[in-house]
Structure 1
């Protein structure tokens, strides 16, 4: 396990970051919740600010941009609402791009009936725990426990573990006060970034993939790009071990960083 370390600020070290960008084509991969939109009590309210929308529109004029999220693909596309970017929903199990590129992991589709069964069992087992909420996505079932009283946190996890014990082809992923029940396959956000780089012809060494994210699930992408790209962790509430190269404090600092990339490309938000 990596030790917790001091990760330097990408904004404070901008000159250093700029040197890493020199002579490289940049491709942007951005998490949604906690990165482009703040974490909010109700996930349905996690909408982009007008400033962030303007920034993303300008960014996509200069660079390939992909939004990589645990959210279900149709929800992600609705929340972002931009036609010039790529979307990787359900932690990369479901990918769609403006050029018509589409990808769904075949092995993941084969496990949809098992996810259906797990969803039914979770709904039954968690019904007696106030505040526990299920969110079905095409390739996962999210168990949200943000509104569960602290004394019952362990009870939620025990129920999830019990269901997984009956469905060994599924696994438990983690996030900010959410458990993700998903296919137990070697596929995650990092694999999705690899697939997009290959699909977009961006695997050459002159391309610098830049990934920004705040959650544990983003560590798969940071690890995949270590030594190859640039990882930006959005600190949020908790310090943790990370493979990211630099840090940003919050969503507003993410926007500022993206604005600097736009300026560097000779563009403007408006």
Structure 2
């Protein structure tokens, strides 16, 4: 089922077409740090858009997060815990419906839901099934094949844009599975136009479902260019919810990156910040 391919000072194990009873099969890339050993226990970071994480020569736009390289450098510097990255590939035509939080969608007015379903999503969100795949199928596989710390304190989730939304949704829906989430350039508009209805639904969902700040960490950020230029007012609205729910600088970070755009190379530039915050 697995095949290996090399990355500098580390390795990536590729699982082709991992099967699921909840969602269509997809590829998985597991990044293992230098000197990975069965004699150690590793934390696990689940990341969305897995085909964009490691190798810019293999991505559709020639960009990547350089996630493995950043992770290795930070582990070598003893700034973060030893961690495995599990990159979950998206399926392009299903990405939006799998990453759009279903329970926030259900809070929308019927006409907004109809419009979203017809114009953007093409069908109702499948995010609950996507999370079941991660929690009930992929995580047990990873924990059985690799030497992992299995508790929520050692299990993390991260993504950008729609991947930021599904990371927020994951820690809210499964607070006993994920101890921290990193949400970069979170796509609060939910569509490609500025609006208030969809971000308000996310706000209402978070007010009712955020996990306890006592044993969870959440990271948010946004840039100021391209699509990220839409995000600031919505992120500030979400920040007010975080404060109201008891999150402080000990367990929550929200940052603006002036000049950063909605692209992998800019996420790569700042990835060390969320990594250190959630994995320290």
Structure (1 or 2) with the larger CA radius of gyration: 1
Q: Please give the TM-score of this superposition, normalised by the length of structure 2.
A: 0.36
